[in-house]
Structure 1
Amino acid sequence: MNKPPRKKNPTFGIAIFIVVAVLLVIATLFYNAITEKREFDRQNAPEPTISSDAAAAAATTAKPASGAAQ
């Protein structure tokens, strides 16, 4: 009438541990790759060209209003 108690299966717990460990390793690799790419891009940013500086300077100069006498 009484069922014997089920024995715990240790394989399931070890399988879960391995899956979590592998996911942590993959997440760490992605994090390091993204961080190093951003650092590389920051160090190797292209210098602004003269034409873009001139365009920025021209955009910031005051222009007369459309109704103002020229």
Structure 2
Amino acid sequence: MNKPPRRKNPTFGIAVFIVVAILLVIATLIYNAIREKHEFDSESPQVPSLASQAAAAANAIKPASGVAQ
């Protein structure tokens, strides 16, 4: 009538360990990439983009509003 004790499945524990290890590696890679991007952005001078240069040139060509023509 007594059931034999249920054996633990070691495969499940190993699978959980592997998944946690992979998630830890991915999180570390993302953290390092973000940190290095911030370091790079703070070290390099800010270069205005081509679009902002074009907008500045267009504004310089336009006459100011209210100027007699």
TM-score scaled to structure 2, two decimals? 0.65
- Paired residue total: 47
Runs of at least 4 residues off by over 4 Å: none
Aligned to 2:66: none
**What secondary structure, in the 3-state scheme, does the structure 2 residue paired with 1:4 have?**
coil
Unaligned runs of 5+ in 1: 48-70
Unaligned runs of 5+ in 2: 48-69
Aligned to 1:12: 12
Distance 1:45 1:26 in 2: 30
How much has 1:44 moved relative to structure 2? Answer: 0.7
How much has 1:35 moved relative to structure 2? Answer: 0.3
Aligned to 1:2: 2
How much has 1:45 moved relative to structure 2? Answer: 2.5
TM-score scaled to structure 1, two decimals? 0.64
Instruction: Write out aligned runs for 1:15-54 (5 A).
Output: 15-46=15-46
Share of identical aligned residues, percent?
74
Two-structure CA RMSD over aligned residues (Å):
1.1
